[in-house]
Amino acid sequence: MTFLTSAIMSSNLISISEEKSIAEAASLMKTHDIRHLPVVDSYNELSGIISVTDIAKARDTAESIKEIMTPRVRVVKKSANIKTIIDQMLKFKISSMLVAQNEDVVGIVTTDDLLQLLFELLDEEDDLKKLETEGFLDEGWDDDPSYNYPLRPGHIN
């Protein structure tokens, strides 16, 4: 089964100027319930991307987005197979990729989009039953003393 990027991407992109503050980016993300914003320069050209993770790491939210954004943005063609996206996201440990058609950025694919597709592909009656915890844990596991040992913080036994 082949899925093209265009089938799962979000096309309602909201971007922000690299000169805006980190606080403004956080507010925009909260308002629109999103976790990534493409960042544009003064010529309205793509200059980076900012995520909620970037914002969480910021020390001063009054700083400009340019100070913390990721300047190298992975872009995929709208006609690409989603396997390409998954491969790139895993390889580079990223949670989103922008989508381009010709020279224009037309969308974004995030891990949420991929999880939504996975959810839709699972057959609720057959495959989800396999994922249920019945049979996953032994009956009476909480009565078994081998499961009840103290752990010290920072140690795995």
The answer to whether residues 99 and 105 touch, using CB atoms and an 8 Å cutoff, is yes
Q: For each successive 10 residues of the chain (157 residues), what is the average pLDDT?
A: 86 94 97 96 94 95 95 92 94 95 93 91 64 50 49 46
- The pLDDT, as a whole number, for residue 149 is 46
Residue 25 lies in domain: 5-120
Alpha-carbon gap, residue 50 to 45, rounded angstroms:
15
pLDDT at 122: 83
> Residue 147 falls within a domain, yes or no?
no
Quick check: is 67 in a domain?
yes
Q: Is 33 within a domain?
A: yes
Q: Is residue 46 part of a domain?
A: yes
What pLDDT score was predicted for residue 38?
Answer: 96
- What is the chain's Cα-based Rg? 21
Structural domain contains residue 157 = no
- The CATH number of residue 109's host domain is 3.10.580.10
- Say if 132 falls within a structural domain: no
The answer to whether the CB of 3 falls within 8 A of the CB of 81 is yes
Alpha-carbon distance of 98 to 90, in angstroms, equals 15
DSSP code for 105:
E
Question: Which pLDDT value is given to residue 95?
Answer: 94
pLDDT value of residue 69? 95
Give residue 2's pLDDT: 72
Per the structure, the count of domains in the chain is 1
In a domain, 114, yes or no: yes
Q: In this structure, is residue 129 part of a structural domain?
A: no
Residue 76 Cα to chain centre, angstroms? 15
